[in-house]
Amino acid sequence: MSENLTGTVALISGASSGIGRATALRLAGAGAAVALAARRADRLEEVAADVRSAGGTALVIATDLTDADAAAGAVESTVAELGRLDTLVNAAGVMLNGPSDESPLDEWDRMVDINLRGLMYVTKAALPHLLDAAEDSPRSVADVVNISSVAGRVAAPTVALYNATKFAVTGATEAWRLEYTTRNLRFSVIEPGRTASELFDQKANSDADFTAAFGEVEALHTEDIADAIGYIVTSPRRVAVNEIVIRPTDQP
């Protein structure tokens, strides 16, 4: 049986849209106070308003998590304002695919910064607080959920740097899981397939490229991924969900 999250605090990166937004609403609905981190303050305020209108507690943290000091500040603000940190969901991400000989180097840097460095900076800063929460929580557990991708499992042409960042996220999550498994801090990775979100709006022709590779598919909804995250973090302490791959039914 799943447990509710009343009395716990969750920090969600990339919370202004997509999977991050859906996750914030899902965890707030389970009783968690949520800290919403992303760069777009106006979009975060909209998410916070939705949380509060449903009776939840939301803290807006408009910041650039690719800056190590800003990432640490987001964690410290969460703990200072909401009192603790039990759950971290790293959902921020960018996908800028294309032929490697034609792709601008700054796009590669941007994927490394957002998909990998930002995740590492937030996770590093959060670890002491998550370990404290695992010790004093009535649930006796804390969670980190990292959003990778099926591109973190299978390489593809024109996807080299996105593959690189997502393979890294998947690998780091498993290494952290092994490192902290005896301290009641669970690490989980989710690898979604095609999901309807702003990810495919970040570069021209992304939808066309996907359709050319995989054909027309009925995309997952962001709420489908948020439900998987909810399952992970509301599971009792004895249940550690290490990895979930979620593809649309008709995606090869």
Overall residue count recorded for the chain in this entry: 252
End-to-end CA distance of the chain: 32
Count CB-CB contacts under 10 A for residue 227. 15
Sheet holding 87-90, edge to edge: 58-62, 33-38, 9-13, 87-90, 142-147, 185-192, 243-246
Q: Which two tokens stand for residue 243?
A: 């990895």
| CA-based torsion, 129, 135, 137, 139: positive or negative | positive
Burial of residue 136 (number of CB atoms within 10 Å: 0-12, 13-18, 19+) = exposed
| Residues 6+ positions from 109 with CB-CB distance below 8 Å | none
Residue 180 falls in the annotated catalytic set: no
Compute the distance between CA of residue 48 and CA of residue 177 in angstroms, rounded to an integer: 31
Strands 142-147 and 87-90: parallel
Compute the distance between CA of residue 140 and CA of residue 135 in angstroms, rounded to an integer: 6
**Catalytic sites, residue numbers:** 162
